[in-house]
Structure formats: C-alpha cells, structure tokens
Amino acid sequence: DAGVIQSPRHEVTEMGQEVTLRCKPISGHDYLFWYRQTMMRGLELLIYFNNNVPIDDSGMPEDRFSAKMPNASFSTLKIQPSEPRDSAVYFCASSRGQGEKLFFGSGTQLSVL
C-alpha cells in the first residue's frame, strides 16, 4: 500500500483565501484523523472520522475550519477564510481500528501570508 497520501505538500496563500487540504487514507482503515503541528502545542487533534462519520470535532479551532469525508478513500480539511495564525503543518492519519496505532501522511505545510 502507498500509505496515507496528502496533497498539496506545500500551500502558500494570502489571508482571507480559502484553503483545501486533501487526504487519502490507507485502504481498509476505518478511522481518519486530522492533526495540526505547532511548536507550542505539538500535534493537536482537530477532528476524526469513523467509517466516514465525524465522531469528534471538538479540536477544530473555529467555524472557519470544516472537514468532510464523502467516502472511505477521501477526506478534506477546509479553512475559509484563512488567517496567518493558521500557518502550521497539517497531518492526516488513519488507523485500522479503535485505539490502534496511527499511520501518518507526509503533511501539508501551510503558510498564510
């Protein structure tokens, strides 16, 4: 398997623009997670899905953030409008079952100017 695939690898945008990050989990994995990495907070869980259904979005910082999983092989994280403080590395991860170890993608480095 190719592992968790994220796109784009890098995104540079201007404040106020919409940003969409994409993720393809490992086939057969029932759980998908979106994390954000910052120096201050480390890896922060934003939202996770089980069988395409959002289970917990309490980590989503504001209404500007939204995430969808229309099918088992695709998820998006959208920021609209983006702000400079959203600049971070965003990781997608998947796991086979509840409590099982996570497999991470390579991340998207987001810079909002």
60 to 28, 34, 44, 86: CA distances (angstroms): 25, 9, 9, 12
Closer to another protein by Cβ: residue 5 or 81: 5
x-marked contacts with another protein along 48-67 as a string, rule CB under 8 A: x------xx-----------
Q: How far is the CB of 78 from another protein (least distance, A)?
A: 20
Paired with 49 in beta bridges are 32, 54
Residues that bind another protein (CB under 8 A): 4, 33, 35, 39-45, 48, 55-56, 91, 93, 98-99, 101-107
